[in-house]
Structure 1
Amino acid sequence: MSHARPGVLRVGDRVRLAGVSQTVVGLAGTMVHLADEKGLASVVSLPDLLLRAEVEPGPAPSVPRLPMARFHGLPAKAIEEASWWEPHIVEILTGLPPDAAPHARPSAQYDPATRTLAEREAAKAAELTAAGHTGVSTGTVRRKRLRYQAQGVAGLVDGRADRVRPPSGRSDPRVVDALRHILAAEETVQGPSRTVEFFRWRVEQFLDGEYGPGAVAVPSRSTFYRLFRRLSAGQHTTGSARTRRSLAGRPEGPFGQVAPVRPGEVMQIDSTPLDVLVRLDSSKPGRVDLTVVIDVATRTVTAAVLRPTTRSVDASLLLARTVTPELMRPGWADALRMSRSVLPFAHLHELDERLAHAAARPVIVPETMVCDHGMVFISDNFRSSCRWLGIDFQPGHLATPTDKPHIERMIETVGTQFLQYVSGYIGSSVERRGRDTASQPLWSVLELQDLLDEWIVAAWQNRPHEGLRDPVAPGRMFSPNEKYAALVQAAGYVPVALSGEDYIELLPATWRAINAYGVKINHRVYDDAQLNGLRRQPSGVVARKNLWEIHADPYDVTRIWVRNHHHGGWITLFWKHLSTAPAPFGELHWSNAISELRAQGNPDPSEVEIAAAVGQLLQRAHQGPAEVVRANPGQRKRRRPAALGRSEVSRAPSSPRSSHSSAMSQPDEPSDDVSATRQHDEDEPLAKVVPLGIFDARKEAQRWW
């Protein structure tokens, strides 16, 4: 064998013996088994083979190959340079470039049969230098070849291209630890947003306190800014405080997932202020709270109520609405009926005939209710309502909104797909707020509630939901109504709607005596002939001093319900002055009317005066500001509501009783004197406005129930 024989003879090597190309197919001691291209086998002793045979150049040595996916994330220039080096290194190892013809012969300077590896490396360095590539020495070629044999193409990538730098860089570890400590502090997470310069000052103060003044040098301003950007990435430290607190409350590790298989298995409840101005019952613009319940399995919004201030009774009444059918209302399209929806109406109608006039919103009985630690939801009132309905009360972790992500996302969707289309929308934050929003025509709370209920039935319940994809066919999305219909058939779910007596049980309770004239609650008298025989009688409940249990709806003071402790059941009592104020109104309206009368100098208003004031308040709230035509036709200006301020010159000295009597006897159309007064008001400059006291609903709520 020639002097260029390989150092090791292996199975698969090709040799040329007596002019015939053969392949080594086996080794047995000193005997070598060969096979030619026609399959003829022969056996030759190893010494004879080494003397007479000539080794043929074999295939390229096996080297690790870098998958193309490993190139992702590298600069294009680094990938191009590595690809350029690969054929040169392969030529050094095998004598031929990768794209050589099948029967090509190596050039003399790269022939492994005649040149050593060191000679081939030197020849490649000289070739590249002659071609104009500077900085290519024999040592550079050798390092490239060794890295290629060990790592494949990955070894040819410039190490500076994929170098992973630590977030702290080369900064002093003590400075890094100080900044990390300050970024993780509670005052940083929960406090207001500050600039980077503030944190540089805090780091300096921290280092001086830990190691002594001047012991640790604070990096320069530009270096500290780069360090701050790396360590605070994704924390919104100098950005939105709301986003920062939300990210801090997110748990570590992968999120868990609850996969309910039937309606009502897991439901979530939450309350939040709406980003829209409404016309409150005092005709003043203000915001209201939205309290909503959603079913996780079907994403059905089972109930949603708007209130100036959410109380525990609101959450309890929301449970009652959840298990009560949503009836069709005047003006709603006939397509919103349950009988015309995808819901299993025939099956449900057999269980509850009231669904004949129901809208297409499912009735779902909660099994588990998830909520946060708001005072409304952890109150005894709400907990007792859950126990009475057999609902498993499940509060989430403190300051962890991710425990109820479905309702958080639903509330956000209400803002983007409903509220932004409502007149009076103010935006989700101060920087998104427009000017003079209060001058727009505003909906009342009742009107906005009706719009919201219709939107839930018409839009939300029929909108395909991203979270309701078919696991077998992920391309198929279901709407809440479709998902409910599917789960009813799969889980055999039978909802039982709340009865009238069950609804009364959820109302807040108080204890009163039954007097000869009836029952008095907050200066209102309720009576009915059914009380005959119970007047001035003890209830028999000794723990309550023989008083009677009274349930009342705080949003409808027209009637109350008395529990008959003697014979069982409920006794319905109507307000004695219901004929003078037939429109249902709630405790908020009543208390607001009393405050206005007392502010006008009537410290102890009678019940009739309060009823008249409430009637005027409701009429003023529902009519809204009147439009006044300016001198330029085509320009219209809204007159400010009378409740927002009163002119000093327009106040006539009169007693409160006479002023209320005249207000009640005003005709529907303005008189000539009134028209002249309005014309005079437009011509003359506005008088000094003396505003009334602002009604604080949250303070008022503390005195309720």
Structure 2
Amino acid sequence: MTVRRNARPAVKVGAHVRFRGVKWQVAALSGQTVHLVGPDGGGEAVLAGYLFADPGFSVIGADVPQAAPQWGLFETAPAAAREKALAWQRHVREVECGLADGPGSGGVVRPQYDPEQHTLAEREKAKAEELTALGFGRVSRTTVQRMRLAYRKQGLWGLLDHRTTRASSPTGRADERVVDAVREALRRRRGRSKGTINGLFPLINQILKDRHGPGTVPVPSQATLYRLVTSLARPGELPTGPVRQVPASFEGRAFTPATALRPGEQVQVDTTRLDVLALFDDGRLARPELTIAVDVATRAILAAVLCPSATKAVDAALLLAEMAVPHPARPTWPDILRMDHARVLPHQRLTALDERLAGAAARPVVLPETIVVDWGKVFVSRAFTAACESLGISVQPALPHAPTAKPRASYCASLG
């Protein structure tokens, strides 16, 4: 038997399997038939499908296959959901191999979860009874089996309660025919006097009658129509909003949070003038300007540049260098601020790749793949775009007049 790491166990000649509560050895494979030899020397020929469908079937001595953890997505779940998933992970591992920390870890196998004494079905039943007694609710063997299979396929992401990770729709459970009618009414009103939101309701009702016939589509309440109009309208289309020029390709849909699974996959950059007065070298008092870069995957501030006056293109290019180059720790800094004392960073492995990290500060060193910026002159200038091009960084301008397109950078910059 050969088992690839993090792959499903393969049943081959010579492998030991557990079937009907007895330990067997695979003697031969003939088409769909598996020839087994029992501990007493007796043999039996079993169809492969019947063998694999047995509730207690397992390959003895095989590593438990684990899916690659979806850490980027896993961290987006609420803290309570993540803690429950981590608790389930230990219980699932104990059912699989008898040890809560996985195969090869230290510890003593509890008798009710010993793979040599109990079948997989029996261990699942014992775990269901234990979890029920621990306060997990009424847990059945089927629930334990479902969580075990989900962990095999998706890792920790499969153990989450996905009701907590579903992205909410801007239109909720509204009838799609009503949603289409609201979009059509907003399209017809575009370019004309905006009037009031209540003035759109008769137009929406007329569109529904013309398209589907009188009384075919139930008309929702005014509160529902008001919510749909405010969520589907473009920026500046609502009567209370300012008039803005918006690209024609914008559909008016609500923005969803950006998802990045690895550091540097997407970095958001923003500039703001701080609401403080600073004394500069020339003796004048003025409000400095802060330019900040935030990594979406790790929520870490990669670099920040403070300018006494308006940020220039060379300052934005300096921000790129701050992100990609280790920052030396100053002699007066405490040891906690040094990278070699940071537990979350693999300092020894990083030092082997770049000697400059030996005396660096505890700050991520990342070369971004994509940078999200607004339409400020600094970020669309030739100097900044040329610097990004030389480093192989893709520049993605956000939608005009839409600060929610890069919320993390905007929020951190506003905090100063």
TM-score range, shorter chain: 0.3 to 0.5
TM-score (norm 2): 0.46
Q: Which has the larger radius of gyration?
A: 1
TM-score (norm 1): 0.29
